[in-house]
């Protein structure tokens, strides 16, 4: 907690032209759900934070996948081609990747795994995986906000292959390619790279809703993440959103 407070403090010093709270309130961490904390803000509850997080998953489509390199003794043959340094075993690496919110009943992100990509090689070698993402307000509004006061979070879990039948039944190809039309170039069965569908099975959710005097910062129980309803996601509004048109409802109309 102290670490976040310091990180937030330094960003405040860099962005003094924006409307910002007093340091006193930035350093305080009221309990979630506390109403009318003396900063004057209502702190969203853990569940409200889960709803915001699920809406961000729905509206964003690019994040960072973090995995850990296996120790060099457990290298598989495929790493031989990439000239990997010998001392990166146990070190995390974060790499950009695409995801889609295509299994809304669980909130497990859908990912198109390219077998030779580092994130998926590390996962295949036993690494757990974390998807980190953040909310980008629509451009017209983005400049009004301090980025340090916008929600971001990490989904911690593991990758699970999605069976062909589930891909078909859930319309995952259609959903994913609406988020990422260019991914048609590397769908499973393409001639260039081996790829397959996976879900990130979410086990833990770490959330930073914004400045600590007005947002929840902390872990969101995975049950809260999973049981967010479609209606809640549709009704929720994130900073800079104006109307319901922004909701990509066609993605869930299968
Ligand atoms: C992955 O996470 C699980 C807990 O969900 C843990 O038991 C396991 O040790 C982790 N695996 C690695 C390789 O860190
Ligand atoms: C969601 O899960 C939480 C934690 O288990 C529980 O307290 C809450 O009542 C659930 N909400 C709904 C709508 O099921």
Q: What is the mean pLDDT of residues 230-242?
A: 90
With a 6 Å cutoff on the Cβ, whether 227 touches ligand 2 is yes
For 2-110, where are the alpha helices, taking DSSP H only? 2-14, 23-26, 46-59
- Atom nearest to 221 CA in ligand 2: 4
Summarize pLDDT for 32-69 with one digit per residue, the tens.
554 444 556 789 999 999 999 999 999 999 999 999 99
Residue 74: both structure tokens together: 């457990």
d(CA 220, CA 153): 10
The pLDDT, as a whole number, for residue 138 is 83
* pLDDT bracket for residue 73 (50, 70, 90): low
Q: Is 114 a member of any domain?
A: yes
Q: Is 4 a member of any domain?
A: no
With a 6 Å cutoff on the Cβ, whether 230 touches ligand 2 is no
DSSP 227: T
Number of C-beta neighbours around residue 127 at 10 A: 20
* pLDDT bracket for residue 21 (50, 70, 90): very low
For the chain, where are the alpha helices, taking DSSP H only? 2-14, 23-26, 46-59, 118-124, 139-142, 164-169, 172-179, 222-226, 230-235
Residue 236 has pLDDT above 90, yes or no: yes
The pLDDT, as a whole number, for residue 75 is 55
The pLDDT, as a whole number, for residue 241 is 85
The pLDDT, as a whole number, for residue 86 is 83
Closest residue by Cα to residue 97 from 76, 72, 122, 125? 122
Q: Where are the beta strands (DSSP E) in 108-172?
A: 110-114, 129-134, 152-161
Residue 245 has pLDDT above 60, yes or no: no
Answer with the residue of higher pLDDT: 186 or 249.
186
d(CA 238, CA 243): 10
Q: Is 212 helix (H, G, I), strand (E, B) or coil?
A: coil
The pLDDT, as a whole number, for residue 20 is 46
Q: Is 200 a member of any domain?
A: yes
The pLDDT, as a whole number, for residue 158 is 98
With a 6 Å cutoff on the Cβ, whether 203 touches ligand 1 is yes
Nearest protein CA to atom 3 of ligand 1, as residue = 128
The pLDDT, as a whole number, for residue 39 is 58
Determine the distance separating the centroid of ligand 2 and the alpha carbon of 225, expressed in angstroms. 9
Q: Is 13 a member of any domain?
A: no
Per the CB < 8 A criterion, the answer to whether 101 and 140 are in contact is no
The pLDDT, as a whole number, for residue 79 is 56
Angstrom CA distances, 235 to 16, 31, 55, 79, 89, stand at 32, 24, 9, 46, 44
- Atom nearest to 126 CA in ligand 1: 13
With a 6 Å cutoff on the Cβ, whether 128 touches ligand 1 is yes
Summarize pLDDT for 122-179 with one digit per residue, the tens.
999 999 999 999 999 887 666 778 899 999 999 999 999 999 999 999 999 999 999 9
Per the CB < 8 A criterion, the answer to whether 236 and 51 are in contact is yes
Residue 156: both structure tokens together: 């911690």
What CATH code is carried by the domain that includes residue 203?
Answer: 2.30.110.10
Q: Is 35 a member of any domain?
A: no
Number of domains in the chain: 1
Name residue, tokens 């998953």: 57
d(CA 121, CA 106): 25
* pLDDT bracket for residue 92 (50, 70, 90): very high
- Atom nearest to 203 CA in ligand 1: 5
Nearest protein CA to atom 9 of ligand 1, as residue = 128
The pLDDT, as a whole number, for residue 76 is 56
Per the CB < 8 A criterion, the answer to whether 77 and 226 are in contact is no
Q: φ and ψ at 94, to 5 degrees?
A: -110, 130
Nearest protein CA to atom 13 of ligand 2, as residue = 227
Determine the distance separating the centroid of ligand 1 and the alpha carbon of 5, expressed in angstroms. 29
Q: What is the mean pLDDT of residues 234-248?
A: 72
Nearest protein CA to atom 11 of ligand 2, as residue = 227
Tell me what the pLDDT averaged over the chain comes to.
Answer: 82
With a 6 Å cutoff on the Cβ, whether 221 touches ligand 1 is no
Q: Is 1 a member of any domain?
A: no
The pLDDT, as a whole number, for residue 12 is 38
Summarize pLDDT for 99-114 with one digit per residue, the tens.
999 999 999 999 999 9
Q: Is 158 a member of any domain?
A: yes
Residue 5: both structure tokens together: 């407070």
- The parent domain of residue 222 ranges over 46-252
Q: Is 6 a member of any domain?
A: no
């Amino acid at each position: 907690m102290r670490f976040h407070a310091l990180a937030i403090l330094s960003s405040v010093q860099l962005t003094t032209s924006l409307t910002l709270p007093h340091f006193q309130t930035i350093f305080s961490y009221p309990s979630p759900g506390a109403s009318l904390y003396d900063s004057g803000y209502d702190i969203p509850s853990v569940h409200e934070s889960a709803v915001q997080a699920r809406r961000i998953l729905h509206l964003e489509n690019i994040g960072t996948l973090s995995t850990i390199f296996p120790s060099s003794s457990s290298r598989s043959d495929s790493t031989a081609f990439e000239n990997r340094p010998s001392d990166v075993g146990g070190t995390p690496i974060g790499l950009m990747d695409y995801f889609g919110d295509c299994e809304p009943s669980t909130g497990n992100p859908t990912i198109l795994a390219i077998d030779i990509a580092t994130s998926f090689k590390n996962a295949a070698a036993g690494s757990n995986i974390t998807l980190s993402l953040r909310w980008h307000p629509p451009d017209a509004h983005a400049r009004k906000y301090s980025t340090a006061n916008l929600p971001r979070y990490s989904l911690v879990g593991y990758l699970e292959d999605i069976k062909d039948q589930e891909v078909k039944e859930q319309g995952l190809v259609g959903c994913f390619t609406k988020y990422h039309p260019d991914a048609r170039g590397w769908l499973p069965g393409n001639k260039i790279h081996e790829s397959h569908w996976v879900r990130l099975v979410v086990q833990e959710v770490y959330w930073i809703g914004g400045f600590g005097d007005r947002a929840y910062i902390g872990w969101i129980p995975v049950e809260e993440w999973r049981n967010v309803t479609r209606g809640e996601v549709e009704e929720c509004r994130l900073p800079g959103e104006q109307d319901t048109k922004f909701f990509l409802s066609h993605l869930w109309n299968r």
